Amino acid sequence: MKCTTSLFAVMFCVTLVSRSFAGEGGDILINNFEGPDWGDWRTEGEAFGPRPAQGAWEKQGVSGTLRTDCFDVSDYLGEKVHLEIADNSQGGHILADTFYQTDKRPVPEAGYVERKLVLDKRWLNFPINKNSPFREMKVFIDGKMIMAHMVPFDLKNPQMWVPVDLTPHLGQTAVLQIEKLDGVESTSEAVANVLVPSDKMTDGPKIYNEPIRPRFHYTPRYGQATDSNGLVYYDGEYHLGYQTLPFDCMPSELHGNWTWGHAVSRDLVHWQELPLYFWPDRDGAQWSGSAVADTNNTAGFKTGRESPLVAFYTASAACAPWMPSGKTATINMAFSNDRGRTWTKYTGNPIIPNVDRDNRDPKVLWYEPGKHWVMILYIHANVYHVLTSTNLKHWEKRSEIHGFHECPDLFELPVDGDEKNRKWVFFGANCNYVIGSFDGAKFTPQTGTMGFAHTDGSYYASQVFNDVPNGRKVWIARAGVYDFGLPVGMQTFPLDLTLRPVGGGNIEMYKYPVPEIKKLYQRSHRIPKGQKLVPNEPLRPVVKGRTFDIDAEIIPAGAKAFKLHVFGRDIMFDLQKMQMQFFESQERHQITAPLVLVDGKIQIRILIDTIFIEIFTADGRFYSPVRCTFPLDDDSFECSVQGGDIVIDKLDIHELKSIWTTGS
């Protein structure tokens, strides 16, 4: 059904339980569907009869329990709006009753528990058990919903107490609503009673101290850390965003809990977790996107000394009870004037309405020659749109790029450091890429598709940081470690990207750990240059800890293979097949990558963390990120050869200290 009305009151309410509210206390009735026809509403499709149903409509034979819901329309007062109730599903039905406008937020019905919270302390700790029933939770400030989530509360058997950082809202008063559930041991009343702001994280003493917690890869305190989002550098800080489920979980049928996590770093190795960019709201969950520093204030958001940071995200109204039915994915924008510590959603959202049902993942960058912004937007299948804008608010489609799937990236690099020979690189979500040219509106491929890594699917959905000084391109992706028994996700270690010639007139992407990793070196073991390694005489350096940066260059001298054995796992370098091989267990297939001689040497770089290994050969031409579990009771560490000798030109083993402080 559709109709048009003007807004004169703060709340637009859909009354789904009683007709008694309409018209009371100055409320403005839109329609209560009590008349003999549809009035100003227009119906489409075959689901409607000639008049509103009185009880169950005879052709439908359905009825249901209705509830009151409301929409905050304060941002649109005085405007004429179009109301639409749409059912895009293949089955089921929608029952709706009275619609009215009001300045009073309705008191929650009996299906919710409500509490007022004074947000005077930093943390709100949530008792979570992923196996418990999910119930809807909403938080309002000044009548506006600022947080919504489906949460598996459990007071008796919490697997974890997830801390939510309230810093952006300190000093404010909030209203908490939690859906009531029948037949659960942890009642919503009991849950609401323990959700009180605190100075401490309940699980603080154990966070970052778990045995398999990665020590030098970024992980949030709790929760997923999937697709890398909103990577941008501004005034000495690297901002890392990522798709997250703050409570580590969601019902399998819902995607409405996804939003953006947020961390900052001054050196790319030590990270400070900040409050979430956003929480899911009426516009939908926050799916992937990007961020820029609007140093020229092209959007006009600047209010103080700092340049605005502007984030572009996919607002996906997918399957959450607080989201309007039938709404599709749009591209929205938010901005920050305090270095990304708090964010304001743009009142003109969406900046790009729905083009295709699941269009998503906007990557925005500045194109200096044309003095304009560029957006690469995934549309469907293997199609992306290229759009341009001068003010970040109004966008024009300029061309299309075909190839790959979702989560795009586009950036420029010099070839072998030659600033007069620069190329553009276009990425897809699996990080396969093509090299070409870009004129600010159209990307023209000049190569075929090339693979970024040799792996088992241990990474996905990467980005490079926008606006890093001197044109440096620093890359991060989500790391596929979530199924390893730790209730957190992880990001790969940051890598510097370069383009280099590889012979035959060809160019490839090289990737190598950022040099800032040296800040984590704790104790180093250096094997003398020229030392021979012979069969049956393994080298066993005495090392401590379980995290390392290993940098090696070996000269084959008859050996068939060189092997690094670490904590019960083997990394094999087959010098006959010229192939790196990693085989964790019978349950996981073998990972292989090429080996090549560089100046007569095999170059190897290996980063080892608690549940992840990143292997680089040929100075970063070949990259293999691999998820891996190590037996905690195995401290073995040795190097050996088979079938002949090698000469060690360099073998440096650096023990790495943790980037975390327990309970930080």
Catalytic residue list: 227
Do 269 and 659 contact (CB within 8 A), yes or no?
Answer: yes
How far apart CA 280 and CA 286 sit, in angstroms, is 6
How far apart CA 247 and CA 255 sit, in angstroms, is 13
Sign of the CA dihedral 280, 284, 286, 287? positive
Name the E strands within 403-451: 409-415, 418-427, 433-438, 443-445
Structure token pair of residue 203: 């699980």
Chain position carrying tokens 């959007």:
299
- Give how far the C-alpha of residue 592 lies from the chain's centroid of Cα atoms, to the nearest Å: 28
Do 492 and 613 contact (CB within 8 A), yes or no?
Answer: no
How far apart CA 521 and CA 502 sit, in angstroms, is 32
Do 219 and 213 contact (CB within 8 A), yes or no?
Answer: yes
How far apart CA 514 and CA 501 sit, in angstroms, is 21
309: Cα within 13 Å, side-chain hemisphere:
25
- Give how far the C-alpha of residue 264 lies from the chain's centroid of Cα atoms, to the nearest Å: 14
Do 313 and 285 contact (CB within 8 A), yes or no?
Answer: no
Sign of the CA dihedral 385, 389, 393, 394? negative
How would you label 514-553 residue by residue, b for 16+ Cβ within 10 Å and e otherwise? Answer: bebbeebeeeeeebeeeeebeeeeebeeebeebbbbbbbb
What backbone phi and psi angles, to 5 degrees, belong to 570? -110, 130
DSSP 35-62: SSS-TT-B--SSS--SS--SSS-TTT--
Farthest-apart Cα atoms in the chain, separation: 96
Structure token pair of residue 356: 């295709």
User: Running DSSP on this structure, what letter comes out for residue 345?
Assistant: E
